[in-house]
Amino acid sequence: HTHWLTDETLAWLRQRQPEQPFFCWLSYLDPHHPFCPPRPYCDLHDPDDLPDPIALQEDLADKPPHYRWQREGQHFYYGSFDTGQGGVGRHAREIKAHYYGMISFVDEQIGRVLAELDRLGLRENTHVIFTSDHGDALLDHDVFGKPPLAYESILRVPLLWRHPPLVRAGRVHTGVMTQLDFAPTVLELAGAPPLPGMEGRSFASLLGGLADEHRDAVVVERIALERHTSEPVVRYKTLITEQWKLVHYGSASAGELYDLKADPEQRVNLWSHPGHADQRRNLAERLLTELIDSELGDAAQLWRRQREEPFGALRDLRRSESSWPDA
């Protein structure tokens, strides 16, 4: 399927109208369970040469209850396999090697697409964006997949942007980012205004080297239903900065607070530590501010305009309810 998607993309690029601008969305399923890359990729990585998962046999006493449910119930989804006694078993190592093999497979296919863009003379005027929707724990913290746990290996995704005239090769931005910003960034680069109701903000100036900073915090939201157990739905809202991560579960008494610089593996939950009460409160206030600004931003602007130009505010409201402007 991965190879076929690449073939179809190359065929589409060759058949497109060369004088027309184009947009191509190429979405590979890999890397993903059931972790079955074709040969030679299934044998490309030696299971014994790969890094061990982090935080195995983690103490969950200070974590919310659903962390324990996830660790104990993961075999319902992935089946039984040897995880080792106090370490990493053979099956778990082979799964990780196959996952790495799928990454190598996808990497080769993307190379084919980039080579075709070069062959067609499109290298200098095509923006190429590589990203993903989620990570995979790969036995970090004793879990596989993408359960509703706010670990970095699940929430962090790659973001690579290639456009030689704009983005200097090898430039790295280490700050926090959100995919909500993709659409306004692309619109600005295309010379188009942002659409009403967009929550994101453009980082075109960051790509071009005109700015060094973009955001100092991002919000991650998750809702998940435990399909194989009778446990309730898990909902959380997370604020992430370069140093801190706050995970809020609404009215639930449990929560999470981590110092990502001192504790990048998120082993020590500081939510209930008296010495971090002020930090927790400040981050919670920032989370609330971010949610208000993102979800009620248009409403606040419309309210201000209503006082100055009532009918103009109504026009803006009508436009914000449409997915696209009138053609």
Can the peptide bond before residue 31 be classed as cis, meaning omega within 30 degrees of 0?
Answer: yes
Give the ranges where 190-309 is alpha helix by DSSP (H): 204-207, 277-295, 297-308
98-107, 268-277, 313-322, range with the lowest pLDDT = 313-322
Unique residue bearing structure tokens 């989620």 = 134
Unique residue bearing structure tokens 């959380």 = 236
Q: Is residue 199 over pLDDT 50?
A: yes
Q: Is residue 312 over pLDDT 50?
A: no
Output the pLDDT for position 131: 97
Residues with Cβ within 8 Å of 298's Cβ and at least 6 positions away in sequence, in order, are 196, 197, 316, 317, 320
Q: Is residue 86 over pLDDT 60?
A: no
Which secondary-structure segment (H or E) carries 119? helix 90-119
Across-strand partners of 161? 129
Output the pLDDT for position 82: 55
Decide: helix, strand or coil at residue 69: helix
Q: Which amino acid is at 97?
A: A
Q: Is residue 310 over pLDDT 50?
A: no
Output the pLDDT for position 74: 65
Cα–Cα distance, 326 to 278 (Å, whole number): 49
Q: How confident is the model at residue 75 (pLDDT cuts 50, 70, 90)?
A: low
Cβ–Cβ under 8 Å, residues 150 and 238: yes
Output the pLDDT for position 88: 63
Unique residue bearing structure tokens 């879990």 = 143
Nearest residue to 204 via CA among 266, 249, 161: 161
Q: For the chain, what is the mean pLDDT?
A: 85
Among 24-33, 82-91, 216-225, 250-259, the range of highest mean pLDDT: 24-33
Q: How confident is the model at residue 313 (pLDDT cuts 50, 70, 90)?
A: very low
233 or 217: which carries more pLDDT confidence? 217
101-155 pLDDT per residue, tens: 999 999 999 999 999 999 999 999 999 999 999 999 998 998 888 888 999 999 9
Total Cβ atoms within 10 A of residue 287: 19
- Token duo for residue 10: 């190359």
Cβ–Cβ under 8 Å, residues 288 and 296: no
Output the pLDDT for position 72: 76
Q: Is residue 298 over pLDDT 90?
A: no
Q: What is the CA radius of gyration of the chain?
A: 23
Backbone dihedral angles phi then psi of residue 82, each to the nearest 5 degrees: -80, 115
Across-strand partners of 259? 244
Q: How confident is the model at residue 49 (pLDDT cuts 50, 70, 90)?
A: very high
Q: How confident is the model at residue 293 (pLDDT cuts 50, 70, 90)?
A: confident
Cα–Cα distance, 280 to 278 (Å, whole number): 5
Cα–Cα distance, 44 to 210 (Å, whole number): 41
Backbone dihedral angles phi then psi of residue 61, each to the nearest 5 degrees: -60, -35
- Token duo for residue 117: 């863009």
Q: Is residue 300 over pLDDT 60?
A: no
Mean of the pLDDT values across residues 195-206? Answer: 89
- For residue 46, give Cα distances in angstroms to 31, 52, 81, 94: 17, 13, 19, 8
Q: How confident is the model at residue 44 (pLDDT cuts 50, 70, 90)?
A: very high
Q: How confident is the model at residue 66 (pLDDT cuts 50, 70, 90)?
A: confident
Which secondary-structure segment (H or E) carries 224? strand 218-224
DSSP 27: -
Q: What's the longest Cα–Cα distance across the chain?
A: 69
Q: Is residue 314 over pLDDT 70?
A: no
Among 30-34, 171-175, 255-259, 287-291, the range of highest mean pLDDT: 255-259
The pairing of strands 244-248 and 159-162 is unpaired
Output the pLDDT for position 278: 96
Output the pLDDT for position 45: 97
pTM of this structure: 0.82
Output the pLDDT for position 311: 45
Q: Is residue 222 over pLDDT 90?
A: no
Domains by residue range for the chain, with CATH: 1-172 (3.40.720.10)
185 or 313: which carries more pLDDT confidence? 185
